[in-house]
A and B are shown apart, each in its own frame.
Chain A
């Protein structure tokens, strides 16, 4: 199982997409005048082709409306008087561990977007999170204007906090090392910052980098990291969801997020007991989104601020990812329950809702005899149970030990 990932430009005539004999589907990233408009996946017989008619009807159904919206947005923007705002400065922080090749790929994609003067200044910081050898350092040396910081305490949130303090700019944008940025990434972030000067943070669209394996396709089909192609605004409360902001996963994903750096320092940075690498690789993004919203500052989801994420390659890896989602979610909920008294009723309700939702998904998968779906659902459910019974405390003990080893 393998899908061809193609990019189409809707303002130009469409062309047939032909598949190789190994490919049995396509993932279509659609742009209109360079702007990201939509993403769709189509399953096809191996070695066949997507005809122009098929593409056109897909575009009619899925992309045409967003073109209208984009055109209207541009027209409405022109009608409004332009306020000359002071451009903020930007620090891009990449936390990485033993993945020099992927890091080079990401730095290469950043090099291509850095040409535009969108921010007052742009610096790139690579935080080497206790890599075992010097390949990461060597990879960074191959790019100009990239700062290298070594963080000996293993754990993603140690690295993120190290970046936070090493950075100098107003806005800090975090990227994971398994992503590549879109060509409008920097512009998209600049637009979001310029339009929303009071925002505490920004999240962006995450598209698949490739769809070569069954696991990658399944992950994307089950929702992936995608949060849609419309801008969204999040506050401390939300009419549509009485549990908000506790379900902060709707905001986006930790592999592509940015914050007002001063606010993050004021909030005390990331919780180092979450996102600790192998034992508890999640929850840190949920926690920081939640705390930013609770501080009263809004967060903005901006689809033009987009990255491509390399999803897990194999089914066991993917199952483990779902396990960690359950684990991270519950560790985050336990932590928030202890630290944020005002929201306790919502935390309890969220735990109830989460288990109810997991069981519902499992029942749906079972009734359709979908083995993979059931295994993923079970993994997430077990992760959730394990997370609920003391994972946060276990993780705190682990990071305490790491701190003692690295005074």
Chain B
């Protein structure tokens, strides 16, 4: 661990004994296999004492019960901010008894069969990371029906790595672009459910089982899950996790549906709050309904946000996406500053490109408001805040974001780019129901 880093540690609050480790750490709290929350602490705040752990357990557990227990108002939908909208009533809270027992129930490990799931991993020139990822796939409690690795490198250099894993199907897609690769994966996959993860990710052993359980329990077409940091060894990784918010910090299940879409629509429907491409799954029928990933978007093309653009189409056409944090993956953030800057620039550029694509597809002006008003306001407020309050390094990242935004503006002007619509786009009648 370098001086800049945080130790990532996992604490099971169901185990009675307290944590005795000091040092700086991001502590991720669990109740057995149920993720509850996380909290970063400096050397002086650690180790956590028994009363503090008990208090954290009580507060996290209350959040879980509110979001999971039907008697307490679950399931919860997402608000404008992407947080749960509480539905707890006084009467329900007064009646509730044996709360720890119900928590135990929700923490039971899923034993659902994952035979219907095709795991698709797109990779490009990252052999060692892919190997780690595939090891974690091989260690799943419920083995998935199939594992498809789409190699997006020019020379097919992932073939050797895949050869070490007998159950992996190898598909070579030399056309560059994450969307292209993901679409190739969808076409190659045979399962009813297509689950995506990335090559810089390691899966929690119950990942596939949790996805299977969620799709069995809930009638949704799409699912996203929790993306936790695998390591925080460098300043760049910490910056991404803490200053930029990482890949989200919500630990309760949420439904993103029409109301979320309508509430956030005036500023471009905040579909990026739904989840991350490193941990998402879809029913195959969804692709038949709304089409595949937009091949102009995604890493290797416009930048990223090909995932959120698909969620946009999903919600705009009346579908719903379930965020289920029990499906956990661990992401390796970029460890060096240049890598982080490239990533942030690509995020912002891709974000703008996706907004343009969404505007083209549905004619929703909110997307343009987001590009021309919301983002500049965000840059300005972040600038003032970073100037007075820090953290150090935030200004540099902000400059990169602005660069990405400027680079993204070209998509507004590129007429030829805008004319090309998503393949297999939804038929007009459905779109009509959405556009005003």
- Rounded to whole angstroms, the CA-CA distance of A11 and B86 in the bound complex is 21
With contacts A60-B89, A80-B16, A353-B389 taken as known, whether A11 is within 8 angstroms of B45 at the C-beta atoms is no
B residues less than 8 Å from A242 (CB atoms):
390-391
**Interface: A7 (CB within 8 A):** no
Question: Cβ of B389: which chain A residues have Cβ within 8 Å of it?
Answer: 353
Give the interface centre of A65, A237, A238, A353 by most chain B CB atoms within 10 Å.
Answer: A65
CB within 8 Å of B: which A275-303 residues: 296
Q: Which residue of A lies closest to B101 (CB)?
A: A75
**Interface residue? A10 (CB, 8 A):** yes
Contact partners of A382 in chain B: CB under 8 A: none
**Size of A's binding interface in residues, CB under 8 A:** 38
State whether the Cβ of A71 lies closer than 8 Å to any Cβ in chain B. yes
Q: Could you tell me if A238 and B93 are in contact, using CB atoms closer than 8 angstroms?
A: no
A1 an interface residue at 8 Å Cβ cutoff? Answer: no
Interchain CA distance A80-B51 in the complex, whole Å: 11
Contact A65 B45, CB 8 Å, known A72-B99, A80-B16: no
Q: How far is the CA of A195 from the CA of B49 in the complex (A)?
A: 9
**Cross-chain contact A10 with B90 (CB below 8 angstroms):** yes
Instruction: Give the A-B contact count at a CB cut-off of 8 A.
Output: 98
Interface residues of B in 15-73 (CB under 8 A from A): 16, 39-45, 49-52, 54-55, 57-59, 61-62, 65-66, 72
Closest Cβ of chain B to A189, distance in Å, is 14
Contact flag A68-B65 (CB < 8 Å), given A63-B90, A80-B16, A242-B391: yes
Q: How many residues of B contact A (CB 8 A)?
A: 37
Answer yes or no: B415 CB below 8 A from chain A CBs: no
- Cα-based distance from A230 to B56 in the complex (angstroms): 10
Any B CB within 8 A of the CB of A395? no
Q: How far is the CB of A327 from the nearest CB of chain B, in Å?
A: 23
B-contact bits for A69-103, CB 8 A (1 contact / 0 none): 11111011101110000000000000000000000
Do A61 and B100 contact each other (CB < 8 Å), given the known contacts A196-B49, A231-B51, A237-B45?
no
Is B3 on the interface with A (CB-CB < 8 A)?
Answer: no
Q: Which residues of B contact A238 (CB under 8 A)?
A: 42, 45
Chain B: which residue is nearest A302 at the CB level? B51
The secondary-structure label for the interface of chain A is helix
Q: Are B44 and A60 in contact (CB under 8 A)?
A: no
Chain B residues contacting A72 (CB-CB under 8 Å) are 57-58, 61-62, 99-100
Q: Is B402 an interface residue (CB 8 A)?
A: no
Q: Are A59 and B16 in contact (CB under 8 A)?
A: no
In the bound assembly, the distance between CA atoms of A63 and B51 in angstroms comes to 22
Which of B39, B42, B44, B98 has the most C-beta atoms of chain A within 10 angstroms of its own C-beta?
B44
B51 and A196: CB pair below 8 A?
yes
Question: In the complex, what residues of A have CB within 8 A of residue B41's CB?
Answer: 239
Closest A residue to B392 using CB positions:
A242
Query: CB < 8 Å: which of B54, B59, B66 contacts A80?
Result: B54
A236 touches B16 (CB 8 A): no
Which chain A residues lie closer than 8 Å to B59 at the CB level? 69, 230
Contact across chains for B51 and A76 when beta carbons are under 8 A apart:
no
CB distance from A72 to the nearest CB of B (A): 4
Q: Which residues of A contact B391 (CB under 8 A)?
A: 242
C-alpha spacing A65/B72, complex, angstroms: 10
Contact between B90 and A230, CB atoms less than 8 A apart: no
A231 touches B90 (CB 8 A): no
Q: Is B92 an interface residue (CB 8 A)?
A: yes
CA–CA, A243 and B351, complex, Å: 34
Asked whether A10 lies within 8 Å of B94 as measured between CB atoms, the reply is yes
Which chain B residue shows the least CB distance to A60?
Answer: B89
In the bound assembly, the distance between CA atoms of A69 and B57 in angstroms comes to 9
Contacts of A80 in B (CB 8 A): 16, 50, 54
Known: A65-B62, A67-B90, A67-B93. 20 other contacts (CB 8 A): A61-B86, A64-B92, A65-B66, A65-B93, A68-B62, A68-B72, A68-B93, A71-B93, A72-B57, A72-B58, A72-B62, A73-B55, A77-B54, A79-B16, A235-B42, A235-B44, A237-B45, A238-B45, A242-B391, A356-B388
The residues of B with any CB-CB pair to A shorter than 8 Å are 16, 39-45, 49-52, 54-55, 57-59, 61-62, 65-66, 72, 86, 88-90, 92-94, 96, 98-100, 388-391
Provide a sorted-by-A list of 27 A–B residue pairs whose CB atoms are within 8 angstroms: A10-B90, A63-B90, A64-B89, A65-B86, A68-B62, A68-B93, A68-B99, A69-B58, A69-B59, A69-B62, A72-B57, A73-B54, A73-B55, A73-B58, A75-B100, A76-B54, A76-B100, A77-B54, A230-B59, A233-B45, A233-B51, A237-B42, A237-B45, A239-B41, A239-B45, A242-B390, A242-B391
